[in-house]
Chain A
Amino acid sequence: MMDATLVNAPDGELVARTRTGDGRAFDALVRRHFRMVYMIALGVLGNRMDAEDCAQDAFLRALTAIDQCHSPERVGAWLGMIARNTARNSYAARVVRDADSLDASHPSADTAPSPHHHAVVGELRDRLESALATLTETQRTVVLLHDLHGSPHADIARLLGISEVASRQTLFVARRVLRERLGAHTLTEFLHER
């Protein structure tokens, strides 16, 4: 489905074409930035299913408001801001929803095993989510964007409105907390399995 001619098209061109209703350009834009948007949503929300829903929602909101993207060549940063706001709104809604629910202990969808993943990986994924849940929103976002998505500290700092030094310090603390929560044995098992 991905249009080969759009793979290397600059962001500005994709945004311009999306504004005129070009579905292929929008598809290319989503594929290019989905990972980053998903990581931000995961950092705020803490679990994959909600993060996937949030990422979808963020792209749809971005499409509706794409005329307000004043720097199309830097659409990634703009999408990041939308993803963060969408995720925060989603988190607030979830808090209200969970407060109304008598069974608010664990989201059932996350415990369902994926048919495409090995059981051991699935178990560790759940542990990772649990460990991530112990971090602050900022710590989760920093560690996911830096260690998983590969974003530089400058971009993360801009997104979160903190300094680069603060981003590095946050990453250091987040990694240490994760290692403490997960334990060396689990990590070794996981890495061996991979």
Chain B
Amino acid sequence: MNDDIVDLSSLDVTHDQLRMERLMREINRAAAPELERRALQSAPISTLAEVWRWRRMLVAASALVSLVGGSAWLLGPQTNRPAGFSPASAEVAVALGVPNELLPYFETELPQ
């Protein structure tokens, strides 16, 4: 059956190296904008992925900052507080880890 094969190799563009290189250049030139877009797009995606990977640490750090900030605000001088403010309970101070020696101070600040 192979005797029937017609030699079609003259139709094969890949046999002509110069023509092939020209075609490759044209394709790559035309593809450049899309490749550039993809390269730019892939960078932010990897940054987001990195942020996502560290999400637990970020949440923990945010909670810690909130706790420290809230404690400083609660334990700070009363002059910095809004008018009429007083600590809800000394239990809050205990929960925030205030030393036992300072607890009587909070007791005196409780509203009567």
Contacts and interface: CB of A to CB of B under 8 A. Distances in A.
A19 B37 CA distance: 10
A22 B35 contact: yes
Most buried by B among A18, A22, A23, A191: A23
Interface residues of A, number: 47
Contact of A148 (B11, B18, B31, B35): B11
B106 to A, nearest CB: 58
Contacts of A187: 6-7
B10 to A, nearest CB: 4
A67 to B, nearest CB: 9
A110 to B, nearest CB: 11
Interface in B52-71: none
A93 B92 CA distance: 78
B39 to A, nearest CB: 3
Interface in A121-138: 121, 124-125, 128-129, 132
B26 interface: yes
Contacts of A117: 10, 16
Interface stretch (A28-36, A72-80, A81-89): A28-36
B10 A121 contact: yes
Interface string B14-52: 101011110110111011101111111110000000000
A70 to B, nearest CB: 18
29 contacts: A1-B28, A18-B38, A20-B42, A22-B35, A22-B39, A27-B28, A30-B28, A35-B12, A38-B13, A48-B13, A52-B13, A55-B23, A60-B30, A63-B34, A63-B35, A64-B34, A114-B16, A114-B19, A116-B18, A121-B10, A125-B10, A128-B10, A128-B11, A144-B11, A148-B8, A148-B12, A175-B4, A179-B6, A187-B6
Which 3 pairs, one residue from A and one from B, show the smallest C-beta to C-beta distance?
Answer: A21-B39, A21-B38, A20-B42
